[in-house]
Amino acid sequence: MPAVIFRAFISCSLAEEDLDVVEFFKRLIRSFDFEPEVYDYQEIGRIPDKVKEHIVRADCLIGLATRRKKIEGIDFWACPDWIHHEVALAHAYNKPIAIFVEDGVRIEGLLENEERRQRFSRTDLLRDIDKIARFLFNLRTYLEEGYRTERSNLPVLLRHYFHIKEEVRSRELSVMRCDILMESLVDALEATHHYLVLDETTPGLTVKPQHFDFVCKEIPDGKRAEPVIVLASDQKFLWRVIFTPPLKKGEKVKYAFKLVHQNVRPWTHDEAEDRVAAGTYEYKDPRCEACEWTISYPTAEFCFDIEFPEGYEIRDPWLDVRMGDAALPAHQEVQRLKEGNMFTAEKLIDKWSLSLRVPKPLQGHTYYIYYFAPRDPARDATSTIAGQG
């Protein structure tokens, strides 16, 4: 088969003094069967909208963080501001990201948290050519794996059940436990994967686990299942269960894992409104997410339960289902859940719990539970006092 050509959006400086560096990377990127695309800002239309169109259409984003301006008081340089914006856009659309950073460039924000980056020297571009080439090779391999998976007509595994129980213990802490029974549908299943993604940019939030436990409960004789962490950044926690030797078709594995991590949800309605106003929240209204779970493999039963602390008053819980990367409304699936009473919200004296029990959830669909957090009594009191004349 001929090699697949992937489209790479190149986020870079357009200054004349950087053209040679950009051209060097474009030639190198092409050698790995990428088609580099640099937006020249001459196209008709609003620049933010056109940039977004190019990024959405691309298979990945490759950033070139070159020196733009000297940072006052320290011996570092800043890169072009729009690179931060374009990386954030690519992240929002779940595009794979690779960043090459020039020596002496100080990066902050999302770029600082982005772990897929490699430094280079403008005066000696061949100095780290082996690392740069390996970096591009890994990106290429990642895209090819996704390409093969998306185009495969046969699923590789079946999950007989996927049960999640989460306890929100405090403003700062949440504990999630998952229990899974899966079956291989192919003759050489090497691994399956799990991930948590943070879809907002509010400072101080992270999905890095504070504690991670894994246990394999049942597995065929002579085989073992082990967890391997692939990426642990503030924005994404990605890990795999590796099967050694690979599972054969029809073999089943039961395993469980536990994640102790920061509770990234707004604790109060006022906090949610502050995040919306700051432009760092993933929604345009102050809703909170109890559940966002995408069904990646055929699944016979999906259950999600979440409990809140005693005395914590949530308001107006509701459910939603979206399909595909475009997040289109799945009205029929929502109707099925409602008619089957598959979603329940219950307050037992002073403790709220929400439950979702879905037989045969739809593959490629994302199941959501939302609610509104309580108002902050201290802020309300302050507002009342401040309003007295």
130-134, 251-255, 316-320 — which is least confidently predicted? 130-134
Give pLDDT tens digits for 256-304. Answer: 999 999 999 999 999 999 999 999 999 999 999 999 999 988 999 999 9
What pLDDT is stored for residue 384 in this prediction?
Answer: 37
Q: Is the pLDDT of residue 40 over 50?
A: yes
Measured CA distances, 292 to 68, 72, 289, 322 (Å): 39, 43, 7, 10
- pLDDT at 386 (0 to 100): 38
Return the higher-pLDDT residue of 284 and 41: 284
Q: What is the largest CA-CA distance in the chain?
A: 78
pTM (predicted TM-score): 0.61
What's residue 368's pLDDT?
97
Return the minimum-mean-pLDDT range out of 130-134, 219-223, 360-364: 130-134
In DSSP terms, which residues pair with 274 in a beta bridge?
none
pLDDT for 254 beyond 90: yes
List the structure tokens of 309.
């602390």
- Residue 358, C-beta contacts closer than 8 angstroms, at least 6 positions apart: 301, 302, 303, 337, 342, 367
For the chain, the domains span 6-150, 154-381
- The residue-averaged pLDDT of 6-20 equals 90
**Cα–Cα distances in angstroms (integers) from residue 289 to residues 221, 258, 265, 280, 283, in the given order:** 41, 20, 7, 15, 10
**In this predicted model, which residue has the larger pLDDT, 51 or 304?**
304
What integer is the mean pLDDT of 29-42? Answer: 81
Please say whether the beta carbons of 92 and 126 come within 8 A. no
- As a whole number, mean pLDDT of residues 133-157 equals 73
* Residue 134 binned pLDDT confidence (cut-offs 50, 70, 90): confident
**Contact call for residues 385 and 337 (beta carbons, < 8 A):** no
Q: What is the pLDDT of residues 193-248, one digit of tens each?
A: 998 999 899 999 999 999 999 999 999 999 999 999 888 889 899 999 999 999 99
The token duo for 184 is 């291989």
Plot region of 277 (φ>0 → left; ψ -120 to 50 → alpha; else → beta): alpha
Percent of the chain with pLDDT strictly greater than 70: 89
The yes-or-no verdict on residue 109 having pLDDT over 80 is no
User: Residues of 178-203 as b/e, b for ≥16 C-beta within 10 angstroms?
Assistant: bbbbbbbbbeebebbebebebebbbe
CA–CA separation, 202 vs 208, rounded Å? Answer: 15
> CB neighbours of 220 closer than 8 A, spacing ≥ 6?
247, 248, 251, 252, 253
The residue that leads in pLDDT, 151 or 96, is 96
d(CA 170, CA 180): 26
Phi, psi of 263 (to 5 degrees): -80, 105
Beta bridge partners of 302: 162, 358
Was domain 154-381 assigned CATH 1.10.287?
A: no
Residue carrying the six token digits 């309300």: 380
| Residue 365 · residue 296 · CB < 8 Å | no
Residue with tokens 């073992």: 224
Mean pLDDT value of segment 80-97: 84
Model pLDDT, residue 274: 96
Mean pLDDT of all residues in 47-59: 79
Q: What's the token pair of residue 67?
A: 């020196």
- The predicted pLDDT at position 77 comes to 86
Could you report the per-residue pLDDT of 321-343, keeping only the tens digit for each? 998 777 888 899 999 999 999 99
Q: pLDDT band for position 313 (50/70/90)?
A: very high
pLDDT of residue 380: 55
pLDDT at 92 over 90: no
Task: Report the percentage of the chain scoring pLDDT > 90.
Answer: 53
Q: Which CATH class is domain 6-150?
A: alpha beta
Alpha-carbon torsion (108, 112, 117, 123), positive or negative = positive
